[in-house]
Structure 1
Amino acid sequence: MKKSDFHFDLPHELIAQVPLAERSASRLLVADPRSGTLEDRRFTELVDLLRPGDLLVFNDTRVLPARLHGRKASGGLVEILIERVTGSHEARAQLGVSKKPKAGGRIVLADGSEISVLGRDGEFFLLRFETVEPVEKVLLKLGRMPLPPYIEREAGTADDERYQTVFARASGAVAAPTAGLHFDAALLERLAARGIETGFVTLHVGAGTFQPMRSERLEDHTMHREWLNVGAELVEKIQRTRARGGRVVAIGTTVVRALESSIKDGAVAPFAGETQIFIFPGYRISSVDALVTNFHLPESTLLMLVSAFAGRDFMLDAYRHAVEQRYRFFSYGDAMLLYPQSRE
């Protein structure tokens, strides 16, 4: 298959630039390829679309304020986007700068502290923070929320809370698991009251999630690495859910990515480590029975993942419907409840 097979036309004004006043006020497109139906609903109606005994699986990663600004020794401005914290004082990052620094170069941050450039790792730079405090504390003090490149404004103080799920707890991501942004405390309480169980994986979303595919053939693409943890407690919940006839519902593509990466001998098993899994049509997703997801960029690996789940033609039809009905797209946008194509 080709990258261009996943293109769709998106009016720029449908790209959500700010979140809604309330998290759960989003719209929800219910898309079922088995019946070919598309239903326009409200996100709060998700409670009624699920059944007692279903299991919702969330990604509990917490977004770091991973965007920093500094200056080179020459005085040139540098924008730093941490891709991953690799040690107490080390990180891998993208650098926005007119002339790329060489190994041994120094970057001075706003408080006068310094970062050393250790070298390159492909398109990323390896950095060492020459600070008393570890990287994460420096980010908490000086960093800003790393809003996606299609949000055309600087991060504000409101984004510190809204570009974070209400259940975020494991720090390490540099992008939000955006399907989870629609859930607030009241909605989670309603789900629990209906007898719907919840569980968590951790997958630290990296900056690579926004990088465009450079190869036209899908088979030639090398996926970025992300760290994940699927624990024994969640595996037991999945097993109990399956045994009672309940459905496993992934909240976001990152959950699908984590669960599919942990499959061993045909079933989800405890696993912690890195994944480079690339899911596109032809791959059979077996770990989940439904998926809540936001709308994704044209020709993106995330659109390819949901197309593997529900079928490419059906997904493109659903996206055309979403455009016609003026849904809000991407991280701060609306959501879909997606069912799988026939597995027979």
Structure 2
Amino acid sequence: MTPHDPGGCPDVPSATTRPAHAETTACEPPRVRGLARDGVRLLVSRLSGGVIEHRVVADLPDLLRPGDLLVVNDSAVLPAAVRLDRLTVHFMAAREDGSWLIELRCRTGRPYPGGTKGEWLPLPGGATLRLLRRETSRAWRASFNRDVVPYLQRYGTARHLAHAPGDWPIDDYRPVFARVPGSTGVPAAGLAVSRGLLALLGRRGVDIAVVTLHMAACTDGPLPPEWRAVPESTARRVIAARRSGGQVVAVGASVMRALESAVAEPEALAEPKALAEPKAPAEPEPEAFAEPERVRACAGWTAHTVGPDCPPQVVTGLISGLRRPAPGRPSAVAAVAGDALTERSYGEAVRERYLWREFGDVHLVCW
């Protein structure tokens, strides 16, 4: 049985409309709004004194110091949607056993409520997807008879964001430093960094390092394990920055998860089976963090989660998209900034009409 002609999915897609909260949600990439990547607004929350500033991302070289380390995620977002006659299959997250979490949607964008265990779907190119079991209210675990990453690179299209449903090119979802295909989630913080900004940071004495973490695009439930790699060169740069008193600033919660897992789970070395190749607080004192020598190169799946109950041990600053955490997931921003400063910052962002979500403005928490 196949849901090639599913009930509950209208023949004609509904007209694209902006959500009711469009005044605070970015519905299109910055370039469509006439902005450069680093031209979006930057909300700055200072751990030292709890000061909040309003800048743009291009000001980042004036906000960081020589000797600081900026760490980016070089995972590239996949064209993770495969369109059928009246359904779209969204590939959401790779699983350790080679299966994938997928979501079925009507071509109108609404979640498709159907599907049964054992059902198979014929996909373009002779591929077959089999539904194994429901994992969450919207996600299925499914098996696929192809290598997923090369298949999506040939047959996939960019996965529409619910609040930004336009047909944007895949490059609009990818940071300029992305090079390893594997993510299905969109890295909001990384999208705001331009090549020119990276070059200027380097000239100002800010070091740049890279990790790989293949971000999952799960719609509900806790954050699943994700594949990550922390190279030896990055571990050395983290150690050097911390020893010299510099900040280690993660560009995105994905980077923080990867780096913190290098302390918490450095022994995880399994290869990814399904991927082609992973009051305001005072200024933190050095003893509040892990010994920098504990940061180790590592690669494999990580289930490590950073949040207020499990604060970062090596990361001292964070650049993040403006988005409150999903239910059941801890706040990465609050893990760095604390609850009080986080809520003040979010309240300021609302009052100043910052744009939220993946294509919106960003938030820097630093000393």
Shift in Å, 1:66: 0.5
Change beyond 3 A, Cα 1:243–1:98: closer
CA distance in 2, matches of 1:15, 1:324: 13
Match of 2:211 among 201, 211, 221: 201
Q: What is the distance in 2 between the residues matched to 1:319 and 1:11?
A: 15
Residue among 141, 157, 163 paired with 1:125: 141
Residue 41 (structure 1) aligned with residue 55 (structure 2): yes
Q: Tell me the residue number matched to 2:87.
A: 78
* Pair 1:114 & 2:127 matched: yes
Q: TM-score, normalised by structure 1?
A: 0.82
CA distance in 2, matches of 1:260, 1:89: 25
Structure 2 residue 364 is the aligned partner of structure 1 residue 337: yes
Contact kept in structure 2, 1:101 and 1:117, CA below 8 Å: no
Q: Deviations over 1:311-337 (max 9, x none)?
A: 112211111111111111110011111
Partner Cα distance (1:310, 1:319) in 2: 12
Q: CA deviation at 1:248?
A: 1.0
**Counterpart position of 2:231:** 231
> What displacement does 1:301 show?
6.1
Number of residue pairs the alignment of both structures matches: 308
- Superposition misfits of 4+ residues, deviation over 4 angstroms: 85-90, 298-303
Residue 58, structure 1, aligned to residue 72, structure 2: yes
Shift in CA distance, 223/137, structure 1 to aligned 2, threshold 3 Å: closer
Pick aligned residue for 1:166 from 176, 189, 214: 176
Q: 1:58 Cα deviation (Å)?
A: 0.3
Q: Structure 1 334/276 Cα, relative in aligned 2: closer, same or farther at 3 Å?
A: same
Given that residues 32 and 38 in structure 1 are in contact (C-alpha distance below 8 angstroms), is that contact kept between their aligned partners in structure 2? yes
Match of residue 156, structure 2, among 143, 151, 156: 143
The letter for the 2-side match of 1:262 is A
- The Cα of 1:298 is off from its aligned counterpart by 5.7
Q: What is the CA–CA distance in structure 1 between the aligned matches of 2:305 and 2:328, rounded to whole Å?
A: 8
Q: Secondary structure at the match of 1:36?
A: coil
Q: Is the 8 A contact 1:247 1:290 kept in 2?
A: yes
Q: 1:99 to 1:299 in 2, by over 3 A?
A: closer
For 2:192 and 2:100, locate their aligned partners in 1 and report how far apart those are by CA, in whole Å: 30
Distance in 1 (alpha carbons) for counterparts of 2:305 and 2:100: 24
Q: Residue 28 of structure 1: CA displacement?
A: 0.8
Contact 1:90 1:135 in 2 (8 A): no
Distance 1:61 1:34, change over 3 A: same
Deviations 1:189-220, CA, capped at 9 Å, x for gaps:
11111111111111110022x42x5xxxxxxx
CA deviation vs aligned residue, 1:270-294 (integer Å, no higher than 9, x gap): 2212222233323231211211111
Q: Confirm or deny: 8 A CA contact 1:260 1:287 kept in the other structure.
A: yes
Unaligned runs of 5+ in 1: 1-9, 72-76, 214-221
Q: CA deviation at 1:45?
A: 0.7
Distance (whole Å) between structure 2 residues aligned to residue 291 and residue 101 of structure 1: 42
Deviation at 1:251, TM superposition (A): 0.8
Name the CA shift for 1:303/1:329 in 2 (closer, same or farther; >3 Å). farther
Q: How far off its partner does 1:125 sit?
A: 2.5
| Distance in 2 between residues matched to 1:292 and 1:116, nearest whole Å | 37
- Aligned sequence identity (%): 30
Alignment of structure 1 residues 167-182 onto 2, 5 Å = 167-182=177-192
How far 1:14 moved relative to its partner? 0.7
Change (3 A) 1:87 1:238: closer
Change (3 A) 1:91 1:185: same
What amino acid does structure 1 have at the position aligned with 2:115?
K
- 1:7: which partner in 2? none
In structure 2, give the amino acid aligned to 1:120: R
- Corresponding residue SS for 1:207: coil
CA deviation after TM superposition for structure 1 residue 229, in Å: 1.0
| Alpha carbons of structure 1 residues 224 and 112: separation in structure 2 relative to 1, 3 Å | closer
Whether 2:46 is the aligned partner of 1:32: answer: yes
Tell me if the contact between 2:39 and 2:56 (Cα under 8 Å) persists in the aligned partners: yes
Deviation at 1:11, TM superposition (A): 4.1
SS at match of 1:238: helix
Alpha-carbon displacement from aligned partner over 1:21-74 (angstroms, at most 9, x marks no partner): 210111111111431211111111101111111111001101110111225xxx
Contact 2:324 2:331 in 1 (8 A): no
Report SS of the residue matched to 1:337: strand
Q: Residues 80-106 of structure 1, C-alpha deviation per residue, up to 9 Å, x if partnerless?
A: 111235699964422233421331x33
Instruction: Work out whether 1:19 is the aligned partner of 2:23.
Output: no
Q: SS at the partner of 2:345?
A: helix
User: Are residues 310 and 89 of structure 1, via their aligned partners in 2, closer, same or farther at CA, if it must alter by over 3 Å?
Assistant: closer
How far the C-alpha of 1:232 sits from its partner, in A, is 1.2
CA distance in 2, matches of 1:49, 1:64: 32
Q: RMSD over aligned Cα, in angstroms?
A: 2.5
Residues 258-273 of structure 1 correspond to what in structure 2 (within 5 A)?
A: 258-264=258-264, 267-273=294-300
Distance 2:90 2:166 in 1: 14
User: How much does 1:224 deviate?
Assistant: 1.6
Amino acid at match of 1:39: E
